[in-house]
Structure 1
Amino acid sequence: MFSSRRKATAVTAAACLALLAPIQASVSAEPIAPAAAQELAIYTVPNTDSQGRTEINHTGAQVLSVSGGVATVEATPAQAEQLRAKGFVLREEGKVADALQRVNRGQPTPGDFPPEDRGYHNYDEMVAELDATVKDHPDIAAKSSIGKSFQGRDIPVLKISDNVGRDEAEPEILFDCNQHAREHLTTEMCLHIAKRLTDNYADPAIKAVVDNREIWVIPVVNPDGSVYDVESGKYRGWRKNRQGPGTDLNRNWGYKWGCCGGSDDNPNGETYRGSAAWSAPETAAMRDFIDSRVVGGAQQIKAAVDFHTYSELVLWPFGHTTDHVTEGMTQQEHDRFARVGGEMAKSNGYTPQQSSELYVTDGDILDWMWGRHKILAFTFEMYPASGSGVDGFYPPDEVIEKETARNDGAVDILLREAGA
């Protein structure tokens, strides 16, 4: 996966020159983190269920991962006291600042990952990697942009298909990554999918898929946040976009937006849903792209995966309700999600479950893609299965190859299911 990375970096300046002017022209003053953010700590909370974890998130604290009912939670001292007053038992595991110090190893280079994690692609390298893929495989790969981020960066999309310049009557599938800025392993996942399906086109099984599908890959939905997270040469633990105090893109989608206690109305909250549905330009660009795939009244995207980290889960809609059968979801539809999700989880060793079993969310991509377009949409929470807190978002670059290839079987299953 990385053999072309440094070669691709050599063409970065040429590949990205067109992007620099709008970025520089539109960068706004960055938001100032509240003082309480400097006191964030990681806690473990035992014996939680979906309802309890949803209640934890209601306080403004954030559930980062769950293992055996034990939730790992990021919270300010005030939020921790509020949770204790509600009857939760919290054990402090350490400060977020200390965790970030542990993962920020070596002498930093501004604008790039910490030295020991240079196997990750920064934004410019990601763009260059896509350009190199198109150059190497012009007959089956084409790059474009679905729109601009808040600060003016392109949100690139790679199309992979045998007649890549034509819109054919073939099932389409979407893979998107990095809605949340600090989840950089997901960008590597999307790049891995793109390289695997193009570099291995001579493989009869890969060729059959590429020849009979139109595949869309979006490696970075949140380019501003992703850039900001490593801009200083050190990880910042940043999650949201860069619009004012930041919006959680995965709470800004228009289906059941803000309906059900699954997002935050506090702009400083980590799950802040924005001032209105689609108030973030990144989610609006994603909406417009997916809407554009309605041809002749029918949505051409039949299946999708939205990659996140971490917890090693395969999730399906709905997130806004714990009901399996409800408005917009029949028993037959739920059973298909459970069947396909279970099959994919068996292939990669993740845990399959309805999204709301983790905790209730509203305004997320899964609910919108299914509720609006009936796209067979899943979220994968990638490696690790659990972590000590913010450290879990920053696994060493040595795991990239293994943890992206780990999902090859699941990707193949969904590519097949898209044609069902």
Structure 2
Amino acid sequence: MFSSRRRAVAVAAAACLVLLAPIQASVSAEPTATAAQDSAIYTVPNTDSQTRTEINRTGAQVLSVSAGVATVEATAAQAEQLRAAGFALREETKVAEALQQLSGTERVPGDFPPDDQGFHNYDEMVAELDATVSEHPDIAAKSSIGTSFEGRDIPVLKISDNVAQDEDEPEVLFNCNQHAREHLTTEMCLHIAQRFTDNYTDPAIKDVVDNREIWVIPVVNPDGSIYDVESGQYQGWRKNRQDTGTDLNRNWGYLWGCCGGSSDNPDAETYRGTAEWSAPETAAMRDFIDSRVVGGTQQIKAAIDFHTYSELVLWPFGHTFDDVTDGMTQEEYDRFARIGGEMAGSNGYTPQQSSDLYITDGDSLDWMWGQHRILAFTFEMYPAEGGGIDGFYPPDEVIQQETARNDGAVDILLREAGA
């Protein structure tokens, strides 16, 4: 997508971004790519949501599940701890070796490997948003929700028929790339931006744009996303670049650290940070979403937080296995399940409550619903399963197919935002 103009605007955007990105990394310890240094991929048979939660609580991370077999990323120490707890681990590959193989032998510093140039790096993403605004100034406007730890802009695109006005219309948020290595999600957000601007002459698209305010945030974690590819070889990096890195999707403020669904170990992949909202990126997301409370009413009615991978449609809550609980009535749960099932029927994903995968806490899904009653879903995109780390780095040939695959689901959510 955007291939005709991608490289033409990238150089100019990169020059401008130098001025926008005062680097602050010197104030803190330099994070290390622990995953690439010490981790391996293992398979663990006969798991369920409870045992997968136990696996994650060691600091290891469940990457995907197929027929009860969990694919797990773990350091040697975490693997030893899991075996001591009775888990049967089978090592599949070393993460460092897999990353090297995925990256190929050629290196393009600051960019994706040559075989994956269809993906947009940060500079190119910003350039695409600027080009969209230039081509569609009446319906698209770019602004910022704040800056990252290293001082980079976190841009947001608004799409609406009267884009300069704050109209009394249902708003829908699509955000991507909370986790650095999940680059396919950035392409998903760019696809949404393209679809609802370039196709405005389509009556169905025009009807949506004229009756909704759409917000698109393609990269929540710019520092981590850049770091993951800046050497020209994939790093397998998940977190932001603050100290040893914080898992942004465990740093949100709803029941932060409540339920064993995140780690207090700074080296863990699911490290929740020193306090809720301690990561500037999540604080920026909070402030933006809070700012959409107008006259005491939250204007954002629905949202999708895109991740990879596993091909899942997830809904709240993640912090509890209970369907009905404090903050979730049976009627509300049934609505989530109905809409989630309909969206999954359109894209072939598996619909389930978030905790059916494993317990999480401090995630965006729970906060959006628990704090603001936003009809919030998490999508885990392509592939359905993988050999481990390679699931985060699909070939660029799948971008068009796997982003367009969610068009129907996006349309369903936009419809439900007005219900």
The residue number in structure 2 matching 1:331 is: 330
Aligned to 2:292: 293
Q: What is residue 20 of structure 2 aligned with on the other side?
A: 19
Q: Is the 8 A contact 1:162 1:210 kept in 2?
A: yes
Which amino acid in structure 1 is aligned with residue 30 of structure 2?
Answer: E
User: Which range is displaced more, 301-310 or 72-81?
Assistant: 72-81
Please tell me whether the aligned partners of residues 37 and 76 of structure 1 are also in contact (alpha carbons under 8 angstroms): no
Cα distance, 1:27 vs structure 2: 7.5
**1:2-41 alignment to 2 at 5 Å?**
2-13=3-14, 15-20=16-21, 22-23=22-23, 29-33=29-33, 38-41=37-40
TM superposition shift of 1:376? 0.2
Within 2, Cα distance between the matches of 1:13 and 1:102? 28
Tell me the SS of whatever aligns to 1:305: strand
The answer to whether 1:257 aligns with 2:256 is yes
Aligned position for 2:94: 95
Residue 233 and residue 27 in structure 1: after superposition, are their counterparts in 2 closer, same or farther (change >3 A)? farther
8 A contact 1:27–1:152 mirrored in 2: no
Q: CA deviation at 1:9?
A: 1.8
Residue in 2 that maps onto 1:230: 229
The amino acid that maps onto 1:408 is: D
2 CA distance for matches of 1:310 and 1:342? 18
Does the 8 Å CA contact 1:26/1:152 hold for their aligned counterparts?
A: no
How do residues 340-419 of structure 1 correspond to structure 2 at under 5 angstroms? 340-419=339-418
- Which residue of 1 is the match for residue 271 of structure 2? 272
* Structure 1 contact 106–115 (Cα < 8 Å) conserved: no
- Aligned counterparts of 2:133 and 2:12: Cα–Cα separation in 1: 13
Q: Deviations over 1:160-182 (max 9, x none)?
A: 00000000000000000000000
Query: Which residue does the alignment assign to 2:310?
Result: 311
User: Are the structure 2 counterparts of residues 181 and 315 from structure 1 closer, same or farther at C-alpha, using a change threshold of 3 Å?
Assistant: same
Matched residue pairs, number? 418
Q: Provide the C-alpha distance between the structure 1 equivalents of 2:359 and 2:387, rounded to a whole number of angstroms.
A: 23
Provide structure 2 residue ranges, at least 5 long, that are not aligned to the other structure: none
- Rate the CA distance shift 1:323–1:233 in 2: closer, same or farther, 3 A: same
Q: Per-residue CA shift, 1:98-156, capped at 9, x if unaligned?
A: 11011111411111001110110000000000000000000000000000000000000
Residue pair 2:323, 2:333 contacting (<8 A) in 1 also: yes
Q: Judge conservation of contact 2:36–2:99 (CA < 8 Å) in 1.
A: no
Between 1:283-292 and 1:71-80, the stretch displaced more is 71-80
CA distance in 2, matches of 1:100, 1:27: 29
SS in structure 2 of the partner of residue 11 of structure 1: helix
Contact 2:33/2:236 (8 A) holds in 1: no
Amino acid at match of 2:222: P
SS in structure 2 of the partner of residue 23 of structure 1: coil
Write the distance in 2 (CA, Å) between the matches of 1:194 and 1:137. 11
1:27-106 equivalences in 2 (<5 Å): 29-33=29-33, 38-106=37-105
Q: How far is 1:11 from its partner?
A: 3.1
CA shift, 1:278, in A, is: 0.2
Are 1:134 and 2:133 an aligned pair?
yes
The question of whether the paired residues in 1 share the 8 Å contact of 2:24 and 2:149 is answered with no
Assess if the C-alpha contact under 8 Å between 2:33 and 2:237 holds in 1. Answer: no
State how far apart, in whole Å, the 2-side matches of 1:65 and 1:13 are: 35
Change (3 A) 1:115 1:295: same
Q: In structure 2, how many angstroms separate the alpha carbons of the residues matched to 1:204 and 1:176?
A: 25
Q: Deviations over 1:7-31 (max 9, x none)?
A: 23243245535414x2378775522
The change in CA–CA distance for 1:43 and 1:14 in structure 2 (over 3 A counts) is: closer
The superposition leaves residues 13-72 of structure 1 with CA deviations (integer Å, 9 ceiling, x where unpaired) of 45535414x2378775522355x8623111111110000000000111110111111100
1:303-360 CA distance string (max 9 Å, x none): 0000000000000000000100000000000000000000000000000000000000
Between the aligned partners of 1:143 and 1:254, the Cα distance in structure 2 is 27
Q: Would the aligned equivalents of 2:36 and 2:96 in 1 still touch at CA under 8 Å?
A: no
Identity of paired residues, percent? 81
Partners of 1:70 and 1:32 lie apart in 2 by 30
Moved over 4 A (4+): 24-29
Equivalent residues of 1:28, 1:151 under 8 A apart: no
Distance 1:187 1:231 in 2: 16
Shift of 1:258: 0.2
CA contact (8 A) 1:251 1:361 kept: yes
Q: Which is worse superposed, 72-81 or 171-180? A: 72-81
Long gaps (5+) in structure 1: none
Deviation at 1:5, TM superposition (A): 1.1
User: Bigger shift: 71-80 or 282-291?
Assistant: 71-80
Q: Could you say what the CA RMSD is over the residues aligned between the two structures, in angstroms? A: 1.4
Structural mapping, 1:77-226, within 5 Å: 77-226=76-225
Q: Secondary structure at the match of 2:386?
A: coil
- Alignment check: 8 A CA contact 1:255 1:371 kept: yes
Alpha-carbon contact 1:12-1:128 (below 8 Å) kept: yes
